[in-house]
Every structure is written in C-alpha cells, then in structure tokens.
Amino acid sequence: MSKELFKTMLYLPSQAAAETEATIIKWYINPGDSFVKGQALAEVESAKSTFDFEAPCNGVVVNLLFQENCSVPFDSPLIEIETSDETMKSAIPSVSAKESAPAQMDIGAIEKPKSTPQIRTVSLLGIGTYLPQRIVPNSELLVEHLDINEDYIFGVTGIRERRWAKQGEKPSDMAYLASVQAIEKSGLKPSDINAIVVSTTTPDVVMPSTACILQDKLGIRGIPAFDLNAACSGWLYGISVARGLVLSGVADNVLVVASEMQSRVLDKKDRNTYFLFGDGAGATVVSGVKPGHTILSEMLFADPAGINMARRSYPGYEVPVNTTGFDPWLRLDGKALFRFATQSFASVVRELIIKSGWKPEDVRWVVPHQANSRILKAAAQKSGVPFERFYLNIDRVGNTSSASIPIALSEIERGLQKNDRIIFCTVGAGVTVAGLTIEW
C-alpha cells in the first residue's frame, strides 16, 4: 500500500548567527521534477561560503519560491514539495524560521495525559549548590587555539569563564557539598531524607551508583538511592521522579542532586565542546510533608531522532591514558543541536504556560539549562516571554549540564517573592527534553 502524499516546505540550513540571508546562484530542478534524498537542488551562496542545497527526502517539486540570483531570508521557505516521507512532518526548520512555519515537534501531542491523581501538594524546599574554586577564563583555553580570540569565544557561546574541579575532586564530593547545603536550607536533618536521586553523566564509577556513594557520605542508611542519566535534562527528570515517589507514598522527602564534572572529558582540539562546559553541582529536597515552593506542571519526553547530536562512548568522569581504538571524549553536533534545542526550548515554555493556566506576562523568570546564550536568545524570540526574563549565568559558570538549573536558581533565590511564577526548561542528549513550573 503506497504512503499518503502531502505537501511541505523546505528551508535553507542555518549558517553563522550573523547571517540572515543567502543567494540562489543556480537551480538544478524545475517544478514537476522528481528528486531523491541527497540530490543537489540548488547552488547557494552565503556570506561565508558556497554550498549545494541537498534534498532531505524523496519527492516532487511543486513550486520554486525564489528565482536565480535572488536573496533568500533564512526564515522564509525556499521550495514547496510533495513527498510521502513521514519524517518530513516533524522536520526541524531553520533556527530562524518564522513562527508560522511547521514546528519541529508537537509537544502537546507527545505529552501523554497523566492519570495519577495529585493526592497532596509537592514542593521544592532548600536549594544547595557547589562550584569549584578554580576559575578558568577563555584566555587559558586559547593556548590550544591561537587562530581565535576571547571575543570570538564569547560571541559564539556567551561564556567568558567557567569553574573546573581541582585534581582529586570527584563528582560525589561536589554532590555532597551541595546536598548538605540543601538539607540545611530545607530545615531538615539527613535522617529526614527518605530517598536519594542523583543525576550525572560523569559518575565516580560505573558501580556502585554515585547516589549510594553520596548516601554513605551523608551517613544515611536504609533508604533507596539511585542514579539517573538524562544528560542536561537530568535534574528536572530527577524532580519528576522524586515527585512520583512522594505521591506514591514511597517517600516524604527526596533529595535530588545533579553533579557534573565535564572538564575531564573534553577534547582540547574540539571547538564544539572545549569552550562550553564547566563543573558544578546543585541539589534540592522534594517534599510532600513540608510546605515550600509548589510544583505545578511538568513535562518529560525524549526523541531518539536526535540520538547522535550529543554523545560520549566511554563512562565515568575521567579518560584513561591509553585511548587507542575508541573515542573517549564528549562530542556534539553543534548545528543540528542548535536548531533542535532552540525550537524545543521555545515549545516547552509555551506549552508549560498553557498547562499552568498562566499568561506569558505572569512569568517572573524562565530559568533554562545554560546551553548556549545564542540558543537561549533565539528560543526567547519564539517563546512569547521576553529575553530579559530568561536568567543566564553562563558567562560566569559555563554549561554545567544537569546542574545548571539549580545553580542558576540559587543566584536569583534571594530576589524571589512569594507567588512568583517560574519556568524551568532543558534539552539534553538523547535527545531528552524537560520542563517544570513552580510557584515560589
């Protein structure tokens, strides 16, 4: 049985952030022509390069929307096509595509309705964080890249410096210091904690879990403790898991920690990763028995279509001396991740506002995973919430992966007032996406 044909638009792939348009030098096809995936459809010239625009699927040309030698904005469709390729229904458009363009994914459709009734209010209590003392400015990393400067790094990433752990420091050490602070600020004792969930992509060892190592450091016995890995989305995944433990009656108070030590797994020669990441830890207590900052709505999902956008093949927080035969470093597909993350951040913010019964102007802060300042600026434009209400600290601490939201939240905590409405949102390897709303 043949697949159903449908019409869709194709956009030019995004180039450098400063570029807004490109020029069609030559069309290789005409309306009515058939084409196959990977076939060159046009020769295109941008400010920095000339490239062939290749077909992302099999199909037939319906209409060419621009003539040769015309300038094409990156936010405008280039070709109308007809295809039966179902993947094109969720294709990622240019990062600058106008809001009327087909969305990357319909989060409302992906999000499954929750059948579990909320039997009691679940809240976040104290926020604890830890950042290593060592400050690493961009100038220190430029020793490996003499052809670029500090302004270039800041322009591309939004980062001026980051914190890196000292030799001998472990992810569980950072988790412990953040946890002690969170428990104290919650007005609890370690013995009041009924479960421990640790988010990390850089565990101390493969087993036992970093959560069990943390449990030992805290001197707590007889409670469940486990790690989860949702990459940069891990802390919000952990909050949702903890909320489930509370609502199911397994625990009253759950310690949720994110601890990431990416500095040891970065390839100095890889510009996609080397300048981005910092080390740090963040923690909170999720409670069903003590009033705090009320959790309202949550969203969790993953899309394996982006499974290769962020990856690392070797476990742990350190790379062995002999790495012959395999790649032990953290790798990112920067361009693809940029497009995916921009649309996903914006979609999560819009959907959470609806789910929480808010209006965009009700949001006091959006506290995002500190992925990249360019991603967050582009996401803000599409989210309906002004960029001024997106809190960024990436310039000082870099991307601390799943620890970035609690670290950022700790910085604005003193300025928050009762009933302030806050959105958390994140995108991580997998690709995982998560969002949460709370009322302070």
Q: What CATH number does the domain containing 417 carry? A: 3.40.47.10
Claim to verify: residue 138 and residue 264 sit in the same structural domain: yes
Tokens linked to 287: 């409670």
Claim to verify: residue 274 and residue 422 sit in the same structural domain: yes
Claim to verify: residue 85 and residue 138 sit in the same structural domain: no
Alpha-carbon distances, residue 79 vs 29, 55, 74, 107 (angstroms): 11, 10, 12, 26
Q: Provide the annotated active-site residues.
A: 232, 369, 399
Whole-number Å distance between alpha carbons of 317 and 328: 10
What residues pair up with 221 in beta bridges, in sequence order? none
Claim to verify: residue 291 and residue 345 sit in the same structural domain: yes
Number of domains present in the structure of the chain: 2
Q: How many helices (H) and strands (E) does the chain have?
A: 10, 21
Residue 117, classified by CB atoms within 10 Å of its CB into exposed (0-12), middle (13-18) or buried (19+), is exposed
Claim to verify: residue 91 and residue 234 sit in the same structural domain: no
What residues pair up with 332 in beta bridges, in sequence order? 310
Cβ-contact 303, 429 below 8 angstroms: no
Claim to verify: residue 295 and residue 340 sit in the same structural domain: yes
Cβ-contact 24, 35 below 8 angstroms: no
Claim to verify: residue 134 and residue 43 sit in the same structural domain: no
**Of 102, 135, 168, the domain-final residue:** 102
Whole-number Å distance between alpha carbons of 399 and 159: 9
Cβ-contact 323, 289 below 8 angstroms: no
Claim to verify: residue 49 and residue 198 sit in the same structural domain: no
pLDDT tens for the chain, 440 residues long, are: 457 888 888 888 866 555 677 888 899 999 999 999 989 999 988 766 778 889 999 999 999 988 887 778 877 888 989 999 888 876 655 544 444 433 344 444 344 444 444 457 899 999 999 999 999 999 999 888 888 888 888 988 889 999 999 999 999 999 999 999 999 999 999 999 999 999 999 999 999 999 999 999 999 999 999 999 999 999 999 999 999 999 999 999 999 999 999 888 888 888 888 888 999 999 999 999 999 999 999 999 888 877 777 777 777 777 777 767 777 767 877 677 667 777 788 889 999 999 999 999 999 999 998 988 888 888 888 888 999 999 999 999 999 999 999 999 999 999 999 999 999 999 888 789 999 999 99
| Domain-located, residue 108 | no
Strands (DSSP E) contained in 66-113 are 71-73, 79-83
| Domain-located, residue 116 | no
Claim to verify: residue 396 and residue 275 sit in the same structural domain: yes
Claim to verify: residue 238 and residue 376 sit in the same structural domain: yes
CATH of the domain at 21: 2.40.50.100
| Domain-located, residue 248 | yes
- At 310 the three-state DSSP class reads strand
Whole-number Å distance between alpha carbons of 19 and 5: 34
Claim to verify: residue 339 and residue 232 sit in the same structural domain: yes
**Of 102, 133, 165, the domain-final residue:** 102
Whole-number Å distance between alpha carbons of 262 and 273: 10
Domain that holds residue 62: 6-102
Claim to verify: residue 133 and residue 219 sit in the same structural domain: yes
Segment (H or E) for 161:
strand 161-163
